[in-house]
Amino acid sequence: MATTPRSGGASGTGTAQRPNGTSQNKSCQFKLVLLGESAVGKSSLVLRFVKGQFHEYQESTIGAAFLTQTICIEDTVVKFEIWDTAGQERYHSLAPMYYRGAQAAIVVYDIQNQDSFQRAKTWVKELHKQASPNIVIALAGNKADLSNIRVVEFDEAKQYAEENGLLFMETSAKTGMNVNDIFLAIAKKLPKNDGANNQGTSIRPTGTETNRPTNNCCK
């Protein structure tokens, strides 16, 4: 029996999933991807969540970085496996490698930067089109501590989120405002039945209502 050739390098990540814990509580693993324009604070957001740190001069992300964080919600242990991606448009072609098979995504924009909000909308459209159908998407308006010089109005973003079935929060990685909350909100929204995530895509539990409006097409 011949050794099979190595598979093509450009295919998906094929993330290995570890077995669930055997403890009394349920435990789940979810792959989550951060997307958004450059310098909106994606890395600062995840660093605040995972390590409780904020660096004023956080280095730019090239390619992607990977971090994990475990939280407890009700009686379930939830482990997030987080891909923090490069924001520059040039790196766009690498993004599917990270969001394919992801159960959740946080699309980040900077409330001081209208272009970053437009870019966030583009990411939402792409996720709806190409990511898992049941992916949970949260929209994060970061740098909320600079609200005195905001450009993107809260109401505008909130309305967009509601129209597209997204979670929405304004956050500040600097102050920590809403950082844990947005991850908690995602965790609450994700299905947590045992073994679901081992399949690579979530299986919607029977009887769970769809959370998204039926008409999401952008005309």
Partner 1 sequence: MGTRERERECRLCAVTFFAKLHPGDVCGSNGLPLTPNSIAILGRAQKLKELQDEHLCQYLDVIRGKHERTIVVSEYLGLSLEDYAMRHPPLAIAQILRIFYQVACGINVLSRHHLVAHNVEPKHILLSSDGQRVKLFNYGLHHMTKGGAYVPFPIGNIRYMAPERLLGLNGNVKSDVWSLALVMVELILQIELWPKLKLSNVVRKILAFGKSNGALEKIAREHQCHERYVQMDQRLRQLLESCLSVLPKRRPLPGELLEHPIFEEVLLDLKKQKMQPLSPETEHLPLLLRCPLSQIYHLWQLAGGDVQAELKKEGLIRSEAPILGLPQIVRLSGASVCPGRSQAQLMDDRVVPLRLKALLQRLSGLPAAVYFPLLHSPRFPAHFARELQELPLVIREKDIEYQFQRVRLFARLLQGYPHTAEQLQREAAVDVPPLLRGPIWAALLEVVPNGSYAKIDKFTSTSTDRQIEVDIPRCHQYDELLSSPDGHRKLRRLLKAWVTAHPQYVYWQGLDSLTAPFLYLNFNNEELAFLSLFKFIPKYLQWFFLKDNSAVIKEYLSKFSQLTAFHEPLLAQHLASISFIPELFAIPWFLTMFSHVFPLHKILHLWDKLMLGDSSYPLFIGIAILRQLRSTLLTSGFNECILLFSDLPDIVMDGCVLESQKMYEATPKSITHRQHALRLQPPQALDIGVADVELKHLQQEQCPRISAKDVQFLLDNSPAELALIDLRSVVEFGRVHVPHSINIPFATVQLGEQRLEALQVPQLEAQLRGKIVVCVSNIHQHSVEFSHFLVACGVQRTCILHKGFNVLHSIEPNILISN
CA atoms within 13 A on the CB side of 216: 18
Out of 8, 207, 217, 219, the only residue in the binding site for partner 1 (CB under 8 A) is 8
Residue choice 78, 86, 179, 187 for contact with partner 1 (CB under 8 A): 86
Q: Which of 20, 58, 76, 134 is the binder for partner 1 (CB under 8 A)?
A: 58
Q: Alpha-carbon distance 160 to 139, whole Å?
A: 9
94 binds partner 1 (CB under 8 A): yes
CA distance 148 to 165: 28
User: 42: which 2 tokens?
Assistant: 């994606």
- Closer to partner 1 by Cβ: residue 5 or 207: 5
Stretch that binds partner 1, among 62-70, 129-137, 183-191, 200-208 (CB under 8 A): 62-70
Q: Provide the token pair at 45.
A: 């957001």
> CA-based Rg of the chain, rounded to a whole angstrom?
17
Determine the longest span between alpha carbons in the chain, in angstroms: 68
Residue 157 in marked binding region = no
> Per-residue string for binding with partner 1, 120-159, x by CB under 8 A?
-----------------------x--x--x----------
Q: Is 193 annotated in some ligand binding site? A: no
Beta strands in 25-75 (DSSP E): 26-36, 64-73
What are the residues whose beta carbons fall under 8 Å from the beta carbon of 38, sequence distance 6 or more? 60, 86, 87, 88
Binding footprint of partner 1 on the chain (CB under 8 A): 1-3, 5-6, 8-10, 13-16, 18, 38-39, 56-68, 81, 86, 88, 90-91, 93-94, 97, 112, 115, 143, 146, 149, 174
Annotated binding site for GTP: 36-44, 55-61, 84-88, 142-145, 172-174
